[in-house]
């Protein structure tokens, strides 16, 4: 175990020796005014080591209880933001309940409990987190990275040696092996740019298709964000909706 951990005190960094340290939490004596460490009985601090911020105001209990609590919650604190903004942390209420039980209750700790898909969705703050929560709610198992790196599989129906003029939706396999689709915009929003946009576009990857299916928007061949059911959405063009 390292001799010290770094904590933040009024925007100043201090190095203090922990009495226990896990992957994400550490238990140590609180810093007191003047820069020293408290030696008061049943008075400890629990710190989120990645941010250097306190995981609680203070812990008033035995060292054994403080260490047991920190050990139980150590792995869960990996999901706490590095800026310490844990107000939306999905385990926040559970942590506060265990913190209270460890100090002033019966000492029976529940530990971090799995959250429901709805709770996960409510706590989501990024598009990726929203998609993960929606996939979980639908019981969908995200595809493996190797599968996601493949193009959407669709049979070619255009051969330049036979067909001279492509049609809207024609599929061609290039010598490189990549699949391309001939697109002629159908939406009214492309009236002014129709002639510039007509042409061959590489068919998207499975990972992109998965993202659009789980998200609220999809892309057109020219990379505009549109509603999934827009006539020029890749999901519509490929016959998925």
Per-residue pLDDT, 198: 97
Alpha carbons within 13 A on the beta-carbon side of 135: 16
3-state helix, strand, coil in the chain (%, to 5): 30, 20, 50
Do β-strands 225-226 and 218-219 pair in parallel, antiparallel, or remain unpaired? antiparallel
How is the beta sheet containing 171-173 ordered, strand by strand? Answer: 171-173, 179-183, 199-202
What's the pLDDT band for 121 if we cut at 50, 70, 90? Answer: low
Percent of the chain whose predicted confidence (pLDDT) is above 90: 63
Per-residue pLDDT, 128: 67
CA–CA dist 24, 203 (Å, integer): 43
Rounded to the nearest integer, the mean pLDDT of the chain is: 89
Tokens encoding 27: 């238990």
First to last CA, the chain: 56
| In the chain, where the domains are located | 5-114, 150-237
Percent of the chain whose predicted confidence (pLDDT) is above 70: 88
Tokens encoding 13: 């960094």
Per-residue model confidence as pLDDT tens digits over 54-107: 999 899 999 999 999 999 999 999 988 887 677 778 788 899 999 999 999 888
Say whether pLDDT at 1 is over 60: no
Are 218 and 227 contacting, i.e. CB atoms less than 8 angstroms apart?
yes
CB-based contacts of 149, cutoff 8 Å, min separation 6:
205, 206, 207
Are 123 and 107 contacting, i.e. CB atoms less than 8 angstroms apart?
no
Average pLDDT over residues 127-146: 72
Are 110 and 96 contacting, i.e. CB atoms less than 8 angstroms apart?
no
What's the pLDDT band for 12 if we cut at 50, 70, 90? Answer: confident
Which of the two residues, 236 and 81, has the higher pLDDT score?
236
DSSP 164: S
Tokens encoding 87: 């107000």
Per-residue pLDDT, 34: 77
Lowest mean pLDDT among 31-35, 100-104, 108-112: 31-35
Do β-strands 25-28 and 45-48 pair in parallel, antiparallel, or remain unpaired? antiparallel
What's the pLDDT band for 4 if we cut at 50, 70, 90? Answer: very high
Tokens encoding 103: 């100090």
What's the pLDDT band for 189 if we cut at 50, 70, 90? Answer: very high
Global pTM? 0.53
CA–CA dist 222, 224 (Å, integer): 6
Per-residue pLDDT, 145: 87
Per-residue pLDDT, 5: 93
């Amino acid at each position: 175990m390292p001799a010290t951990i770094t904590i933040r005190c009024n925007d100043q960094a201090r190095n203090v020796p922990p009495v226990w340290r896990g992957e994400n939490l550490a238990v140590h004596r609180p810093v007191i005014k003047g820069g020293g460490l408290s030696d008061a009985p049943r008075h400890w601090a629990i710190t989120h080591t990645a941010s250097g911020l306190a995981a609680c105001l203070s812990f008033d209990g035995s060292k054994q209880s403080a260490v047991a609590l920190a050990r139980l919650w150590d792995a869960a604190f990996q999901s706490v933001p590095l800026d310490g903004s844990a107000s939306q942390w999905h385990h926040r209420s559970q942590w506060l309940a265990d913190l209270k039980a460890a100090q002033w209750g019966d000492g029976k700790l529940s530990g971090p409990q799995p959250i429901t898909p709805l709770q996960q969705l409510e706590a989501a703050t990024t598009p990726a987190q929203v998609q993960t929560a929606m996939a979980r709610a639908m019981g969908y198992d995200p595809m493996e990275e190797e599968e996601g790196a493949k193009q959407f599989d669709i049979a070619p129906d255009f051969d330049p040696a036979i067909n001279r003029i492509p049609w809207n939706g024609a599929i061609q396999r290039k010598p490189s092996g990549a699949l391309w689709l001939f697109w002629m915009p159908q939406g009214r929003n492309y009236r002014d740019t129709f002639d510039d946009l007509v042409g061959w576009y590489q068919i998207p990857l499975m990972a992109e298709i998965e993202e659009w299916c789980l998200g609220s928007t999809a892309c057109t061949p020219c990379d505009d964000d549109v509603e999934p059911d827009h006539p020029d959405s890749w999901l519509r063009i490929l016959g998925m909706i």
